[in-house]
A and B are shown apart, each in its own frame.
Chain A
């Protein structure tokens, strides 16, 4: 006798993909996975936006000048800082994932996260100051 399958519950609310990023009850590794996936998807989207706007260069000097006046406005520069955070996190956590995921320093995966944070935070601060014209 086989009954109809019952519901399958997953973490998070809404569609099943929320289970990737639901923070409730998650460990450090789970949260860094969530952020790695979010920054990864965001960087792919950014890649195509970036390649798209570079077509302004093909159009010519005035189109590029118009584009520059938009993206160098103060409000837009905050977006640059978010982007740099995404890049730094994905790069530094990516090194951790590459090492641990290949079987190296597995027992030190939490320490590696904090090493990455210690390297990334000053870089982000420096980059933010630079972006806003202070360095």
Chain B
């Protein structure tokens, strides 16, 4: 039995000022433990150094390597090649502007978050990560409402708001509720529950959104 076989990766490509969006196909030799990110890096090293992708920690902690694999949001670093078919389609996250190839502009993602800095009073100089949420943007890509609305703040931002209600850290509760009580915020969710499945952390955005709405409907 051979430990490697080959899979075809269909990879979305887009370069500014360099023609239309398209897909390139690469034959990639894969080992039993290979991740989608490993396969993409193999392509960079051996086939096309111009393939742009973003990653950092390699262990599902930083949230930078989110892509769509066969139409579902995954962190490429922990998505196993062997869980997919002979041909694997890799696309950038949906609902965010593409900078190049698989890299999207996450600035638009963070711009949707509530204005309140999510900080501890004792660490006023820097952001402290929300528990659970790794701010990877997979939920926004998976959300059907975000397909048409760039004003809908999306699951991660609503999770952040609910987080502020649970532990205000100096934020004004009424401000957070007022921010959430809008059609572009808590009421823009139509219960697709796609975010709950896409979330690679344990944030389960849909449940936090519903908790937020229960708070608002009180």
Contact = CB atoms under 8 A, between A and B. Distances in A.
Direct contact of A and B (CB under 8 A): yes
Given A27-B194, A30-B144, A107 B95 contact: no
Contact of B193 (A4, A11, A22, A29): A29
B213 interface: yes
Interface stretch (A74-82, A94-102, A122-130): A94-102
B14 A7 contact: yes
A106 B94 CA distance: 26
B193 A28 contact: yes
A3 B147 contact: no
Chain B interface mostly helix, strand, loop or mixed? mixed
Interface in B176-210: 189-194, 196-197, 206-207, 210
Categorize the interface residue count of chain A.
Answer: 35 or more
B92 interface: yes
Interface in A1-56: 3-12, 16-22, 24-30, 32-34, 36-37
B96 interface: yes
Contacts, number: 112
A100 B193 CA distance: 11
A107 B12 CA distance: 36
Given A5-B105, A7-B98, A8-B95, A19 B148 contact: yes
B217 interface: yes
A37 B210 CA distance: 19
A109 interface: yes
Interface in A80-123: 97, 100-104, 106-107, 109
B191 to A, nearest CB: 6
Given A6-B99, A9-B94, A25-B71, A103 B211 contact: yes
Interface string B66-110: 001011100000000000000000011111111110000100000
Contacts of B14: 6-7
Interface of B: 12, 14, 16, 21, 68, 70-72, 91-100, 105, 142, 144-148, 189-194, 196-197, 206-207, 210-211, 213-215, 217
15 contacts: A6-B98, A7-B97, A8-B95, A9-B93, A24-B71, A26-B194, A29-B191, A36-B190, A97-B190, A102-B213, A103-B210, A103-B213, A107-B207, A109-B191, A109-B193
Interface of A: 3-12, 16-22, 24-30, 32-34, 36-37, 97, 100-104, 106-107, 109
